[in-house]
Amino acid sequence: MSKRRFRRPKLPTEPVTLAITALSHEGRGIAHVDGKVAFVDGALPGEQVVASYIGRRAAFDELRTDAVTLTAPNRVEPRCAFAAVCGGCSLQHMESSAQIAFKQNFLLEQFEHSAKLSRSAFTILPALQADAYHYRRKARLAVRMVQKKGGALVGFREKYSSFITDMDSCQVLHVSVGSLIPALRELIGSLDACYDIPQIEVAVGEVDATDATAFRVALVFRHLQPLSSADERALLDFAELHALDLYLQPSNAESVHRVYPAVGSERLHYHLPDCGLTLAFHPLDFTQVNASINRLIINQALAHLALTETDRVLDLFCGLGNFTLPIATRCAHVVGIEGSEQMVQRGMENAELNGITNAEFYAANLCESLTDKPWAQQAFTKILLDPPRSGAIEIIQQVAAFRAGTIVYISCNPATLARDTAELLTHGYRLKSAGVMDMFPHTTHVESMAVFERID
């Protein structure tokens, strides 16, 4: 019996004119064609656009804007020449205040839908914003040799595609990295291993707390085959010329190792001047990509925790101590919990670096029961949560059981925040306030903070 081959439906070749009525959660314009929903990349509500088909599904079509014939008042000219193609940004054509309004509305919709909370049920916090360009200090750049493009491509992938954007600059990467793209393309193209380097991990650290213009850049080159001595020399020369920290990541080994400079600590640093702290991190450690917004978030979290010298605080999903150590400067004791043993070690390292003695760090699987953990037998007056996109539903009931007076929840996914909020509401808490923080300008990523207080 022969198998029937699945064939994708042919896409219409003629452009269509569409009236955009709304914006999807992915930042695409919403229109209708013959009663069918159409998602239109690069279009804004209130616009009329000419668009071409790029995909068809049973429930909806996907199109890309070719021309705007009726322009929305919040449309702006993207600063980046590659914004229409590159997947690193999706909203550069939208004015910044409109982007924030879009993100805030998404958050509020999630509270209404999952937690059944009207917009008047809690205080909406002012949105946190900082520089919208050259903010990104962590990134994973894709690499590929494409001869028909003239050599190596280095950058973010194209929208809705596995292809790499043919770009020679970037307006969201930290300027010390974005300016390196042409040189990196030339470097990759010159290597024997030009087809065997699929990605470069980027991390930017601060050199001095008193000098906002001094930075140190680390590049981690992943290579699928051993490098020739000539390639190693070329990479070393490149790192020395541009004053970079150079790391190699062989595909057949777990160890990432620094090869330049040959001496010194394998750490970058960022500073929290309002707290008098310096935090060290390895280039592959998780850190927030937007240092300016991170500082604002920390300050806002501290303000809503309203810490006193008698408070005992629990910081769940603590990472390397981004919140734990600022909290430690204002309370009696803080316990940081993280799933990664390596990050727990980093937290302890940062506590020692800053002379902090009232912070403890423990490793624990925060998707499992906490009741058998020795640290969970302690009493905590306040709690901070900063979970991954999947949220913290597995432990919300146990978090509520601590009966802390205040819970501050940092979220990178409004849907899971709203879901977890609904659970907290059933365990004696009310949502006091919530708002968004623009961690990733020009994208649809929504970072938010919610503050809960115990009512029973």
Intervals of the chain under pLDDT 50: 1
Has residue 205 been placed in a domain? yes
Tell me: do 409 and 336 sit in the same domain: yes
Element (H, E) at 107: helix 96-114
Compute the distance between CA of residue 316 and CA of residue 309 in angstroms, rounded to an integer. Answer: 20
- How many domains does the structure of the chain reveal? 3
Compute the distance between CA of residue 209 and CA of residue 354 in angstroms, rounded to an integer. Answer: 13
Tell me: do 358 and 434 sit in the same domain: yes
Has residue 78 been placed in a domain? no
Is 412 known to be catalytic? yes
Has residue 148 been placed in a domain? yes
Tell me: do 162 and 240 sit in the same domain: yes
Element (H, E) at 400: helix 396-401
Tell me: do 235 and 367 sit in the same domain: no
Has residue 281 been placed in a domain? no
Catalytic residue among 80, 86, 89, 412: 412
Confidence at residue 2, expressed as pLDDT on a 0 to 100 scale: 52
Residue 351 CA, chain-centre distance (Å), reads 25
Structure tokens at 108: 């509020």
Residue 211 neighbours by CB under 8 Å, 6+ apart: none
Q: DSSP letter for 238, please.
A: H
Tell me: do 225 and 164 sit in the same domain: yes
Tell me: do 121 and 168 sit in the same domain: no
Tell me: do 212 and 235 sit in the same domain: yes
Tell me: do 194 and 328 sit in the same domain: no
Q: Domain limits at 258? A: 138-269
Tell me: do 402 and 334 sit in the same domain: yes
Tell me: do 299 and 396 sit in the same domain: yes
The answer to whether the bond into 261 is cis (omega within 30° of 0) is: yes
Question: Residue 395: is it exposed, middle or buried by C-beta count within 10 angstroms (0-12/13-18/19+)?
Answer: buried
Place of tokens 């009966």: 403
CATH number of the domain to which 331 belongs: 3.40.50.150
Helices (H), 289-340: 291-305, 324-328
Tell me: do 124 and 172 sit in the same domain: no
Compute the distance between CA of residue 208 and CA of residue 268 in angstroms, rounded to an integer. Answer: 11
Confidence at residue 5, expressed as pLDDT on a 0 to 100 scale: 57
Angle between helices 229-241 and 181-190 (to 10 degrees): 160
Confidence at residue 67, expressed as pLDDT on a 0 to 100 scale: 97
Element (H, E) at 40: strand 36-41
